[in-house]
Amino acid sequence: MIYWIGFCIALLFILFSLDDIAWDFVVIIKKYFQKDTNKIPLEALDNEIPQLLAIIIAAWHEDNVIGDVIRNLIESTQYPRSMYHIFIGVYPNDEKTINVVKELSEEFPNVHGIINNKPGPTSKAQNINYVITQIRQFEDEKGWIFSSFTIHDSEDVVHPNELKMTNYLIRRHEALQFAVFPLQEMPKLSNIFPNMTTGTYADEFAENHFHTMVARSRTDSVVPSAGTGFALSRELVAETDFEDILPENSLTEDYKLSFLLIQRGHRLHYVLETVERLDNRGKIVSEFIATRSRFPATFKTAVKQKTRWIYGITMQSIHFKEIWSKKNNFNFQQRYSLFRDWKAKFSNLLVLPGYLIFIYFLLSLILPLQPMYPVGSVSWYFCIVLTVMMFERQFMRTVAIENIYGWKSAIIACFLPPILPFRMVWGNLINFTATVKAWQMYFKGTTNKKEKSRKGGKTWVKTDHDFLEKDVLKRFHRNLGDLLLENKMISPEDLKLALIKSHEENKRIGSVLKEEGKLSEEFLLRELAAVKHTLYVPLQSLQVGPRLDHFNIELLKELFACPIIETDDSLIIAISDISPIDVQDRLEKISRKKVEIVYSTLNDIQTALAEPVKRINLKNSDIENCVSEGYLTAEQALLTLIYHEKSCKPINEVLQEMGLLSAANRLWNTQSYYGKFKKTFRMLF
């Protein structure tokens, strides 16, 4: 009897683990033996005309984190602020969160609070679906169109380059899923056990998002949405007429959406791209363009979250018959990947019997117990196979963790102690407990009224969140050195030497690089503008600038500043890297207008100031009028001119590609023959 118990358990372990080995072979062949030709150079991202992008965040009782999350997102994102808008879905009975979001919308013009038409909590899917319907109304009011809709959680640390990458890829793919990696403290002996639970998330996500998702994407399998860091193209959302995008009757609406997309013949493209940057130790490292989030830190909260995942994915979203049904035109890889997800509700239950058998084996070495795996028997050979498979899986996990979190984390996760690491055992126990609870939900049903939404779907089973300290968040922000490395403008060695010299001589690193001839003024100002979240404007090539006859030209020359666009209440000023630090404050006091800063070369500024009555040409005059009349922000106007010059496309076409249709229509009416006739008629009569 003992022998047959061991035989069955070993056989089941082998059967349920074979697909993991198969994915590993795909990863090894694709990643380590085939050259990756799909790497996207970051400089290509800057050549794409920026489109309007929407970010959606659903919030229920998130008043303690949502303010810090949004401020960090805006302060770190390397994408024009006027070209992305953040829509936060809140509930009428969550006054604290509403107040925080209201403050954010007053502080940032691109942040909008959307109050749900139902009291909370509904399901997360309902919240997001309602926000999307309101974005559609917002588009009609503004005369805009958003090219994509990116969904994030209220505790996410969004990578600075995510929106740039989205703007590039959403033209080429229907939906995107960025890698998601849990945030981890730097590993030390003192935090190994306190961080045990969060560490299990890091291990599983590292293995899944570094290996498995890549294999799925490259074999045309099903790439599931992770629930955060995923973007849907406008065309995909428009198929549903902007209603009920996410299924509201599922606890894992993200996974269910992935399944529905595959059924409709759409694919989710997985994004795993890296950028180079200089870490705190002066070492060049590769950083993944990924979403970083905090995950549950206790056994109880982890079980609660994973119960929802297991129940929602394996018992609600996919069913065995659907996977293999001929009605679904799935290829073999897609069926296989769905089956792999579905079987987790069984394979997770093998963990406890497996550990009990291992304990029995250890006891049999010192006690006169009946051998479970006699030497030379079939079950003994099964154990040999299982041992090899276990070491292979542990090796692949080690590689993934080392690439994401470093070698210290990899050692703690996979070799403390060897054979059966604490963290792996703890993670398996969490998954086992969560699976048992998911089966309980399956058999008992979820009939509790609190678990029903107003529409009959599931309510939001959310996890409480906290956020990072500001000094930690600064590590995710971009400085000048990071951007120079990312765009291959300087070598890592030259950057290190320039950093040393800047500290020794108390100079700005940009000045050091320019003095040594490592960087031209134009390239320096382009990256400096990106650090400051503003624009670099080549004044001479764009031929921009308002009349200067009512400005103090001598003061402007002293400040190395040139006005570009002026409206009744605002002024856009171009400055150089040698302009005084307080130039913005001084010009605001003099002009009594809100002054916004952009960068331009010293030569361009001096040339523009030498012709005080110079007037921008007709096409740019119309752009300026669009700003005055509220069709465009000043930044959008300058972006239009910059990409008009860079792409050689007509201004109207640039505006349409950006999604600024109202401005495009306004310019069309003005610049058409009929529009010019009306304009001339008004001037004459």
Residue 33 pLDDT exceeds 70:
no
| Residue 644 placed within a domain | no
Q: Answer yes or no: do 166 and 139 share one domain.
A: yes
| Mean of all residue pLDDT scores within the chain | 86
| Residue 602 placed within a domain | yes
Report, as an integer, the average pLDDT of 68-84: 94
Q: Please give the pLDDT value at position 461.
A: 63
Residue 489 pLDDT exceeds 60:
yes
The CATH number of the domain where 538 resides is what? 3.30.300.160
Q: Answer yes or no: do 238 and 115 share one domain.
A: yes
Report, as an integer, the average pLDDT of 513-526: 87
Residue 464 pLDDT exceeds 80:
no
Q: Please give the pLDDT value at position 22.
A: 78
Report, as an integer, the average pLDDT of 215-233: 91
Report, as an integer, the average pLDDT of 198-217: 93
Report, as an integer, the average pLDDT of 14-34: 76
Name the DSSP class of 595.
E
Phi, psi angles (nearest 5°) of residue 119: -70, 150
pLDDT confidence bin for 8, thresholds 50/70/90: confident
pLDDT confidence bin for 302, thresholds 50/70/90: very high
Task: Kindly provide the b/e burial profile for residues 574-592, where b requires at least 16 CB atoms within 10 angstroms of the residue's own CB.
Answer: bbbbebeeebbeebeeebe
Beta bridge partners of 87: 56, 112
Report, as an integer, the average pLDDT of 556-560: 92
Task: Kindly provide the b/e burial profile for residues 145-155, where b requires at least 16 CB atoms within 10 angstroms of the residue's own CB.
Answer: bbbbbbbbbbb
Question: CA angle, corner 528, sides to 591 and 604, nearest 5?
Answer: 60
Look up residue 127 and give its two tokens: 């919240």
Q: Answer yes or no: do 74 and 55 share one domain.
A: yes
Beta bridge partners of 620: none
Q: Please give the pLDDT value at position 678.
A: 43
| Residue 669 placed within a domain | no
Report, as an integer, the average pLDDT of 243-262: 91
Predicted confidence (pLDDT) per residue in 59-71, tens digit: 999 998 899 999 9
Report, as an integer, the average pLDDT of 531-550: 79
Q: How many domains does the chain have?
A: 4
Look up residue 158 and give its two tokens: 């969004």
Distance (Å, rounded) from C-alpha 583 to C-alpha 564? 15
Predicted confidence (pLDDT) per residue in 566-607, tens digit: 888 888 899 998 899 899 999 999 888 889 999 999 998 988
Report, as an integer, the average pLDDT of 127-137: 96
Q: Answer yes or no: do 413 and 381 share one domain.
A: yes
Look up residue 414 and give its two tokens: 């996979």
Question: CA angle, corner 51, sides to 47 and 52, nearest 5?
Answer: 150
Residue 346 pLDDT exceeds 90:
yes
Q: Answer yes or no: do 7 and 141 share one domain.
A: no
The full 3-state SS of 643-683, as one line of letters, equals HHHHHCCCHHHHHHHHCEHHHHHHHHHHHCHHHHHHHHHHH
Q: Answer yes or no: do 95 and 27 share one domain.
A: no
Q: What is the CA radius of gyration of the chain?
A: 29
Residue 564 pLDDT exceeds 60:
yes
Report, as an integer, the average pLDDT of 220-230: 92
Beta bridge partners of 562: 574
Q: Answer yes or no: do 282 and 352 share one domain.
A: yes
Estimate to the nearest angstrom the gap between the alpha carbon of 620 and the chain centroid. 35
User: Closest by alpha carbon to 160, among 38, 286, 287, 246?
Assistant: 287
Phi-psi domain of 463 (left: phi exceeds 0; alpha: psi -120 through 50; beta: other):
beta
pLDDT confidence bin for 460, thresholds 50/70/90: low
| Residue 667 placed within a domain | no
pLDDT confidence bin for 683, thresholds 50/70/90: very low
| Residue 468 placed within a domain | no
| Residue 636 placed within a domain | no
Q: Please give the pLDDT value at position 208.
A: 93
Q: Are 423 and 413 in contact (CB under 8 A)?
A: yes
Q: Please give the pLDDT value at position 578.
A: 87
Task: Kindly provide the b/e burial profile for residues 338-354, where b requires at least 16 CB atoms within 10 angstroms of the residue's own CB.
Answer: bebbbebbebbbbbebb
More confident residue, 355 or 195: 195
- Collapsing DSSP to helix, strand or coil, 240 comes out as coil
**Burial label, 443 (beta-carbon count in 10 A; 0-12, 13-18, 19+):** exposed
Is residue 181 within a helix (H) or strand (E), and if so which, with residue range? strand 180-182
More confident residue, 186 or 80: 80
Distance in Å from the first CA to the final CA of the chain: 105
| Domain with 580 in it | 534-616
Q: Answer yes or no: do 256 and 399 share one domain.
A: no
Residue 194 pLDDT exceeds 60:
yes
Report, as an integer, the average pLDDT of 277-291: 81
**Burial label, 248 (beta-carbon count in 10 A; 0-12, 13-18, 19+):** buried
Beta bridge partners of 275: 287
Q: What percentage of residues in the chain have a pLDDT greater than 90?
A: 48
Amino acid residing at 396: M
CB atoms within 10 A of CB 304: 15
Q: Please give the pLDDT value at position 682.
A: 42
| Residue 677 placed within a domain | no
Treating both helix axes as pointing N-terminal to C-terminal, what angle do 422-444 and 351-364 enclose, rounded to 10 degrees? 130
Q: Please give the pLDDT value at position 18.
A: 81
User: Closest by alpha carbon to 533, among 477, 463, 471?
Assistant: 477
Q: Please give the pLDDT value at position 376.
A: 84
Q: Please give the pLDDT value at position 545.
A: 61
Q: Answer yes or no: do 193 and 239 share one domain.
A: no
**What does the DSSP assignment read for 516-551?**
TTSS-HHHHHHHHHHHTTS-B--HHHHT-----TTS
Q: Answer yes or no: do 261 and 292 share one domain.
A: no
Predicted confidence (pLDDT) per residue in 353-379, tens digit: 888 888 887 787 788 888 888 888 888
Look up residue 399 and give its two tokens: 């590689």
pTM: 0.90
Q: Please give the pLDDT value at position 383.
A: 85
**Which residues, other chains included, contact 582 with Cβ-Cβ below 8 Å and sequence gap of 6+?**
none
Predicted confidence (pLDDT) per residue in 608-628, tens digit: 888 755 544 445 567 878 888
Q: What percentage of residues in the chain have a pLDDT greater than 70?
A: 90
Residue 133 pLDDT exceeds 60:
yes
